[in-house]
Amino acid sequence: MASRAYSFFPSDSLLHRMDALSKFLWLVIASVLPFVMWDPRQLAIQAIFLLLVSVFLIKTDLGSVLRTWGLLVFLASLLLFFHITNRHEGDLVARFWVLSIYSDGLRVGLVYSLRVVAILGASYIFVRTTNPRHLVVAIISLGLNYRYAWMLFVGLVSLPVFESEVQTIKEAQMVRGLRRHSNIVSERLEMYRRYMMPLLASALRRVEHLAIAMDSRAFAAYPDRTFIDDFHWSWSGVLLLVGTLLILIVLLVWRILLHPSIGLVSPT
């Protein structure tokens, strides 16, 4: 079976062994970092660092890493192109036939696109290496009601099921003569409308069955419940978290001391 790129992949890497809460907090900080950085080179360093971690440290299949990062680079390129073609301030840097690239467009485009790469790259590492159940246990240990945390968990683990259901519905409707691809917007909307009804019926059936299966095993019977795996902080996770936090603090101090004019969050 094909492994889905943006989902948990069981392995025994250092990142897999870190506790889920440290990684979650690391993700939060790693997502804030790109907004503190003001130079595209800083962002590029973060993106390359995350790429190297994805390739060498999370022990997943290389194909999945390359596909995901390929998609991220593609998205980033689209953003970059959008900014280059829409911002005409600053100095003219280069001209290709009808396309003129100005310094502001290039800088802002690079900042935006590298931010996207950095945030999605960090979340890829998090999703790929974190068992959603461990995250749920960790969140519950912080005081969140387990009923809500479990809803989040079931949602996360059900996504691949619905993805495969959509694929089956697409094929089932193709057989009826419905085209899979159309470039006309109205046709596309009509196509999605037709997918919705069977998908909704199927989702309701699945949700009903799952609810019965969970209720009949005493889910939510008591205000709290046991977990066979308690949450524990891991040294490696805490080190990662503290290290990233330090980088954030250093960057903030640097900005305030050296570039007081640009404020706490980078301009675009």
- Is residue 90 involved in binding another protein (CB under 8 A)? no
Contact with another protein (CB under 8 A) among 64, 113, 130, 266 = 64
- Shortest Cβ 204–another protein spacing (Å): 11
CB atoms within 10 A of CB 56: 11
Contact with another protein (CB under 8 A) among 97, 184, 185, 224 = 224
Based on CB atoms, which residue is closest to another protein, 8 or 102?
Answer: 8
State both tokens at 148. Answer: 């809500």
- Is residue 39 involved in binding another protein (CB under 8 A)? no
Contact with another protein (CB under 8 A) among 3, 103, 145, 182 = 3
Contact with another protein (CB under 8 A) among 97, 98, 143, 230 = 230
Give residue for tokens 């696109």: 113
Count Cβ atoms within 10 A of the Cβ of residue 237 and give its class: 0-12 exposed, 13-18 middle, 19 or more buried. buried
Contact with another protein (CB under 8 A) among 11, 173, 234, 268 = 173
Q: What is the maximal distance between C-alpha atoms in the chain?
A: 69
> In whole angstroms, what is the distance from residue 186 CA to residue 240 CA?
49
Size of the residue set binding another protein (CB under 8 A): 55
Based on CB atoms, which residue is closest to another protein, 17 or 225?
Answer: 225
> In whole angstroms, what is the distance from residue 250 CA to residue 253 CA?
5
Q: Half-sphere exposure (CA, 13 Å, Cβ side) for 27?
A: 20
Contact with another protein (CB under 8 A) among 41, 91, 222, 260 = 222
Q: Exposure pattern of 149-183 as b/e (b: 16+ CB <10 Å)?
A: bbeebbebeeeeeeeebeeebeeebeeeeeeeeee
- Is residue 227 involved in binding another protein (CB under 8 A)? yes
With residue 174 as reference, give the H or E element that holds it.
Answer: helix 146-175
Q: CA 251: distance to chain centroid?
A: 23
- Shortest Cβ 71–another protein spacing (Å): 13
Cβ(61)–Cβ(7) below 8 Å: no
CB atoms within 10 A of CB 111: 24
Contact with another protein (CB under 8 A) among 176, 184, 185, 264 = 176
Question: Residues near 208 by Cβ (< 8 Å), separated by ≥ 6?
Answer: none
Q: For the chain, how many residues are written?
A: 268
Among positions 132-171, residues that touch another protein (CB under 8 A) are: 132-133, 150, 153-154, 157, 161, 168-169, 171
The site string for another protein over 178-217 (x = CB under 8 A, - otherwise) reads xxx-------------x--xx--xx--xx--xx-xxxxxx
- Shortest Cβ 106–another protein spacing (Å): 35
From the list 15-23, 32-40, 60-68, 84-92, the region that binds another protein by CB under 8 A is 60-68
Chain contacts with another protein (rule: CB under 8 A): 1-3, 5, 8, 10, 63-64, 67, 131-133, 150, 153-154, 157, 161, 168-169, 171-180, 194, 197-198, 201-202, 205-206, 209-210, 212-222, 224-228, 230
